[in-house]
Chains A and B, each alone.
Chain A
Amino acid sequence: MDYIKAFIVGGGICVIAQVILDRTKLTPGHILVSFVTLGVVLGALGIYEPLVEFGGAGAKTPILGFGYALAKGAIKGAKADGFLGAFSGGLEAGAGGIAAAIIFGYTMAVIFNPKTKD
């Protein structure tokens, strides 16, 4: 059951992004930036939480979920350590993903070469 929920929530979020891509001149880069920011806002306001509880990875895997995790981390940090925690909490929550992106990104770039599209 949780697979079906993940599929529907994750697919649904991607559909919203696809409609924006097709209806506007925005590029995927714009979508990533606006969705991560939107994720922070929705996460901070507590709107995203129910979606995560329902959709699981379907809500966490889209970049919205990354924004949600950052916001949740920052607020948690702020609660625990005050102002300093607000600065470090978000990055702490996202640290694993960011570190993975850096090391895997670099490694893949060293191993592989880009191929011409056909």
Chain B
Amino acid sequence: MALKRIGNQTIKLLNPPTILSNYSIVGPKEGQGPLKDYFDLIIEDDLWGQESFEKAECKFQEEAIRSAVDNAELSLKDMDFLIAGDLLNQIVATGYSARELAIPFFGLYGACSTMTESLSLGAMLVEGGFADKLVCATSSHFSTAERQFRFPLEYAAQRTFSAKWTVTGAGATVLSSYGSGPYITHVTPGRIIDPGITDAANMGAAMAPAAMDTLINHFQDTGFKPSDYDLIITGDLGIVGKSIVMDMMKEKGYDLGSVYTDCGVEIFNPRAQDTHAGGSGCACSAVVLNGYVLKEMKKGKFKRVLFMSTGALHSPIITQQGESIPSIGHAITIDINNE
């Protein structure tokens, strides 16, 4: 008998874990965006003194984890687990940053959904009594993602208007079994939904149905309405995906209204920064959560937030074979109060 399950696919955490601390590092472009004042550290050189962009991404993630743990006034030894992932093949940015940290480590691949995937599993581990404190993290880097998923940097190709801009950065969150909040109270893991989009330059449209599926299940399972939240925020649907979610959710009877937005829409100024459909990548939702959302929660602007990172689980090889893009969205409820 799974006591903590409610409805179809939601978990209600009876002793909700606390978000003890959080940290965000971003690259130069994000550091010029509308959320620039929220990020803990802005790196002006996106190589960060490393030999390659991959090694720079490792450093982004490692530093984010170290700083989040520092912010909690703890040491790495206090961490029972590190739960993290990234976009690169074999999640090397995570494996190599974990190499430096010596924390028992679970590596995840959830593409851009990694932040809430790690927080979901982390929250369950803490609540289930398997850990007192742990750290969840993820990273992405424009220049590592670009070469793996798209074109070489100096290649003269035009970007379509549905294309998004991979966020350079890393975010880390420390969870604890005790503390004074904000708390993770509900977890709604997503299912893979594939609406048949084959254009890897239009991931917002590919991921929007997965986001809606998780949202609807979350509302049905918990009995929450959109108006019960001060903020409902998806990971990296971008301008195209956000607009699809708004319209289709309304059709299904959920008016998300002004509480809904998307991290990929918020992080850049599309006109001034020429980012087309917005930000994407694991770090997109990670730095918006650890930079903007959690800081505003602590200031009292948001009391209850539904946070969902969204991921497109394809690879360039399989899209070249003509396959469509399977997508997922994991949602967590973050609440200032522990009811």
Residues of A within 8 A of B (CB): 21, 25, 27-28, 114-118
Contact = CB atoms under 8 A, between A and B. Distances in A.
Contacts of A116: 46, 53, 142-143, 153
B4 to A, nearest CB: 45
Contact of A27 (B29, B142, B157): B157
Contacts of B53: 116
Nearest to B199: A25
A21 B161 CA distance: 13
Nearest to A25: B199
Nearest to A115: B153
Interface residues of B, number: 14
21 contacts: A21-B158, A25-B199, A27-B157, A28-B156, A28-B157, A114-B143, A114-B152, A114-B153, A114-B154, A115-B153, A115-B154, A116-B46, A116-B53, A116-B142, A116-B143, A116-B153, A117-B142, A117-B146, A117-B153, A118-B28, A118-B29
Nearest to B141: A116
Contacts of B29: 118
- Which 9 residue pairs spanning A and B have beta carbons closest together? A114-B153, A116-B143, A114-B154, A28-B157, A116-B46, A25-B199, A118-B29, A117-B153, A116-B142
Nearest to B52: A113
Contacts of A114: 143, 152-154
Interface of B: 28-29, 46, 53, 142-143, 146, 152-154, 156-158, 199
B57 to A, nearest CB: 12
A101 B158 CA distance: 23
- Where chain B touches its partner, the secondary structure class is loop
A117 B142 CA distance: 9
Contacts of B156: 28
Contacts of A27: 157
Contacts of B152: 114
A48 B153 CA distance: 34
A118 to B, nearest CB: 6
Nearest to B165: A117
Contacts of B154: 114-115
A117 B153 CA distance: 7
A21 B160 CA distance: 10
Nearest to B151: A27
A94 B46 CA distance: 40
A118 B45 CA distance: 12
Contacts of B158: 21
A118 B142 CA distance: 10
A28 B143 CA distance: 20
Contacts of B143: 114, 116
A39 B146 CA distance: 31
B150 to A, nearest CB: 10
A67 B217 CA distance: 56
B131 to A, nearest CB: 37
Contacts of B28: 118
B320 to A, nearest CB: 11
Contacts of B199: 25
B58 to A, nearest CB: 17
A41 to B, nearest CB: 25
A118 B157 CA distance: 14
A115 B29 CA distance: 13
A115 B46 CA distance: 10
B52 to A, nearest CB: 10
A35 B6 CA distance: 59
Contacts of B142: 116-117
